[in-house]
Amino acid sequence: MSDEPIARTSRRDFLRSTALAGAGLVAGSATAGAAGPDPKIVEVQDWASSFGDPVDATPYGMPIRFESHVVRRNVEWLTESPVSSINFTPIHALEGTITPQGCAFERHHSGAIELSKADYRLMINGLVDTPLVFTFEDLLRFPRSVTTAFCECAANGGMEWAGAQLEGCQYTQGMIHNMEYTGVPLRLLLEEAGVKPEGKWVYAEGADASSNGRSLPLDKALDDVMVAFFANGEALRKEHGYPVRLVVPGWEGNIWVKWLRRLGVYDQAVESREETSKYTDLMPDGRARKWTWVMDAKSVITSPSPQVPIRHGKGPLVISGLAWSGNGRITRVDVSLDGGVNWQSARLSGLALPKALTRFHLDIDWNGEELLLQSRAVDETGYVQPTKDQLREIRGLNNVYHNNGIQTWWVKADGEVENVEVA
């Protein structure tokens, strides 16, 4: 897919047809005439005359106050304690693919700890030739790599398994962020210690009280897992694992161990709490899947959405959204306006990197009628994002994790948007 709009005709033709379709129908549309001279133009505004802030006003800046709605949000009733809890990225208000770190979601099991680079230690032990201890200074001397990847909580959308529950894609799809990471391939650290032939699993745990220990098969550990120090150009944020976290492209967020302190090499999986009691997926026969590591192809329309109603009336409307797959690149996203009866392919805007958030757009001419918006991602393996009902048919209602079902938004005639399910 290219970055070109899939316009059938030229942009000029598009605007002309839009104007014709909307003629006499829409007050305040782009083509309506002005009632009189706009004072924002014809009167000299303060900012066009006096000074703005000096360059030393904000050594490290925050967003302008008009964007105060673009923040992480908590839903208190979801968990029993705010230190073993989740908050949500404001994906409804973001564009492109890179998540600003300051509003990228958090999930902790014993809170966000403060660990300085001076206090930091990383141990490699177990079935290795030489058990090692690294300081942060040591880690900065290994050859580096860069990767961009989404981190999606296994529970993203989990509250929606049984039906439409929360209002807004921030809440129903926002346990996710996407950053450009720099760090050391885990493979290089393991090679430094020398993994013995009987070493088949790597157990990673954090420095926090919860430890969040998880077992990784050696194949994945040697493939694309990174021990990361930088995200989106700067050090990791405290709440994202400062100074060191694991980056595990395509795999469920829980295994992206933060404040990483130890890598133990074993001949079997540890079967820790976070891979037995939690992050196992109950199926209809009462048994459960374990080791469901990969996050499958998924997408959501971020605008319009319940937190982004249409207030501009009929006419040109941008449908914008995110697609991603833990199984590789997104190759296509289809959008339906009628609840899945008919589909059209959107365009992928920018790069479709493997195991990374991918932006899609579809420009339509909204005639003011109700819509049932859906998006459907396709990845390079040929996998097509399923409906929630298709997933439930196999998994039942108590899977808890890995809900990648198609999301439906009901756009009403007044432009308000609801989270709904359809049948």
Partner 1 sequence: PALAGKLGLGREALPEEVAAWDVAVLPDGTGLRPGSGDVATGDEVFAEKCASCHGEFAEGLDSWPVLAGGGGTLTDRRPVKTVGSYWPYLSTVWDYVHRSMPFGAAQTLSVDETYAITAFLLYSNGLVDEDFVLSDENFREVELPNAVGFYPDDRPQTEYPLFSGEPCMSDCRRPVAITKRAVELNVTPQDPDGRPAGTLPPLSEAAALPADP
45 near partner 1, judged by CB under 8 A: no
DSSP-based three-state secondary structure for 338: strand
**According to CB under 8 A, which residues from 401 to 420 bind partner 1?**
410, 418-420
The mark string for 348-387 relative to partner 1 (x by CB under 8 A, - otherwise) is: ------------------------x---x-x--xxxxxx-
Cα torsion 80, 94, 237, 273 to 10°: value is 40
CA distance 355 to 361: 19
Pick the binder of partner 1 from 95, 138, 363, 380 (CB under 8 A): 138
**Backbone region of residue 409 per phi and psi (left: phi > 0; alpha: psi in -120 to 50; beta: other values):** beta
Query: The sheet that has 85-88: what strands, in order across it?
Result: 73-74, 85-88, 107-108
CA distance 301 to 385: 14
Pick the binder of partner 1 from 168, 183, 241, 315 (CB under 8 A): 168
**According to CB under 8 A, which residues from 193 to 212 bind partner 1?**
193-194, 203, 205, 209-211
184 or 356: CB nearest partner 1: 184
16 or 290: CB nearest partner 1: 290
152 near partner 1, judged by CB under 8 A: no
**According to CB under 8 A, which residues from 278 to 337 bind partner 1?**
280, 282, 284-294, 296, 306-309, 311, 334
133 near partner 1, judged by CB under 8 A: yes
Shortest distance in whole angstroms from residue 235 CB to partner 1? 20
Shortest distance in whole angstroms from residue 226 CB to partner 1? 16
Shortest distance in whole angstroms from residue 376 CB to partner 1? 7
CA distance 214 to 154: 13
165 near partner 1, judged by CB under 8 A: yes
**Which tokens go with 163?**
């039906």
Query: The sheet that has 347-349: what strands, in order across it?
Result: 298-303, 315-324, 358-366, 347-349
14 or 343: CB nearest partner 1: 343
**According to CB under 8 A, which residues from 58 to 117 bind partner 1?**
65-66, 68-71, 73-77, 80-81, 84, 90, 92-93, 109-110
10: number of Cβ within 10 Å: 9
- Do the beta carbons of residue 200 and residue 69 sit within 8 Å? no
8 near partner 1, judged by CB under 8 A: no
Pick the binder of partner 1 from 158, 243, 264, 354 (CB under 8 A): 264
Look at residues 406, 326, 331, 328 and name the one whose alpha carbon lies nearest to residue 372.
406
